Amino acid sequence: MKSIETKAEYDTLLTKNMPILLDFYADWCGPCRSLLPTVEKLSEEYKGRVIIQKVNIDKNKELAAEFKVRSIPALFFLKDSTIVDLVRGVLPEKDLKEKLNALLN
């Protein structure tokens, strides 16, 4: 799963006209590391239907600031370039799937 490195990469994602899940994380964050396998699995499962991307807050401070990320992990669900849901912290896979399915409807 790819990580967004620049604001320009994020802007390009918005042109793809697909729902998006952004996972804001940091390498030093324990809860972020525990969530990573679930996010990677869902990235494969929803491939072609939802764009799932990681955003390292240490490497992409501009995007983290734009989304007003204050704690991580922070998962932003976007539809039509608008934030429609937000999760802070770790959620079970089942709950994340429900949110992704809601994003598709």
Catalytically active residues are: 29, 32
* Strands 51-56 and 3-4, bridge-based pairing: parallel
CA distance linking residue 91 with residue 40, whole number of Å: 14
Burial 59-92 (b: 16+ CB within 10 A, else e): ebeebbeebebeebbbbbbbbeeeeeeebeeebe
